[in-house]
Amino acid sequence: MASSSSNLISLKTSDGTVFKVERALAKTMKTVQAIIEEADANIYMIPIHNVFSHHMDMIIDYYKLSVAGKSKEFSVEKLDNDELKDFLLAVHYLNMEDLFEVLTQAVADRLEKKSVGYVRKYFGIENDFTPEEYAAIRKKNDWAFKGDDIEPEEDEEKQEE
């Protein structure tokens, strides 16, 4: 099967897999596009750091669906929260606008009812409040912690009624 190489770009993922993708798909990756444009000669293979082959599989799935006008059918349901985060970081690195919006929305939906503790771990953030500051802001926004569907804070005991 002959392929006109000028229409395909080779991308090498972090785990060493080479993907030959259409130029149009590569164009949706602003990071890759910038590398192509800056290269003096025709670039042979572009390494994409922090992007694994399973990420590329999903990126290609999304691309195929959006070309067919079916981008709404793309789902990340099967990914757990951490896998989703990794995927988002990969797409963020590649600077892919549409898929980025889809994934940030997906992450927001997953985090909506989570606890403060969970969110800190998820984002890799340290608590930089003093105990007094935390107590004050916690109290001020107490209403935002209430609700049957909100994940309780790990370090807060459930009050006896």
Partner 1 sequence: MEKSMGATNAKVINHIPEDLAFSILSKLPLKSLKRFGCVRRSWALLFENLHFLNMYRNYFISNNHSYYDGTSILLNQTNNPLHGEAFHSTLYLLSGERFENMVKLDWPPPFHEDDSFIEILSKTSVNGTLCLAQKNGMDLKCLFWNPTTDEFKIIPSSPFLYQSPYMEPTVNFNGFGYDHVKDDYKVLRWLCFFNITDVEVPWEDYLDVDAMWEIYSLRSNSWTKLDIEMPTSASNEKLHVDGVCHWWSINDDINCYDSPPRLVSFDLCNEVFLTTHLSSDMIGPLNILHLTLLNGFIAFIIYDQTTTFHIRILGELGVKESWTKVFILEPLPSIEHPIGAGRKGEIFFRKDDDELVWFDLSTQMIEELGVKGREHCCHIAIYKDSLLPIGGF
Answer whether 74's CB lies under 8 Å from 62's CB: yes
Nearer Cβ to partner 1, position 4 or 149? 149
Strands 8-13, 46-48: parallel, antiparallel or unpaired by DSSP? parallel
What backbone torsions phi and psi does residue 22 show, to the nearest 5 degrees? -65, 150
Give strand pairing partners of 8.
22
Give least dist CB 93 to partner 1, A. Answer: 9
Identity of the residue, 1 or 125, whose beta carbon is nearer to partner 1 in the bound complex:
125
Which is nearer to partner 1, 25 or 46 (by Cβ)? Answer: 46
CB of 73 to partner 1, least distance (A): 18
Q: Which residues pair with 10 in a beta bridge?
A: 20
Residue with tokens 């969970």: 118
Tell which residue, 67, 90, 68, has the closest CA to residue 76.
Answer: 90
Query: 12 - beta bridge partners?
Result: 18, 47
User: Per CB under 8 A, does 131 bind partner 1?
Assistant: no
Distance between CA 101 and CA 103 in Å, rounded?
A: 6
Site string for partner 1, 74-103 (x = CB under 8 A): --------x--xx-xx--x-------x---
Mark 10-49 with x for binding to partner 1 (rule: CB under 8 A) and - for no binding: --xxxxx----------------------------x-x--
Give contact residues for partner 1 (rule: CB under 8 A). 12-16, 45, 47, 50, 82, 85-86, 88-89, 92, 100, 104-105, 107-108, 111-113, 116, 119-120, 122-129, 133-134, 137-138, 140-141, 143-145, 147, 150
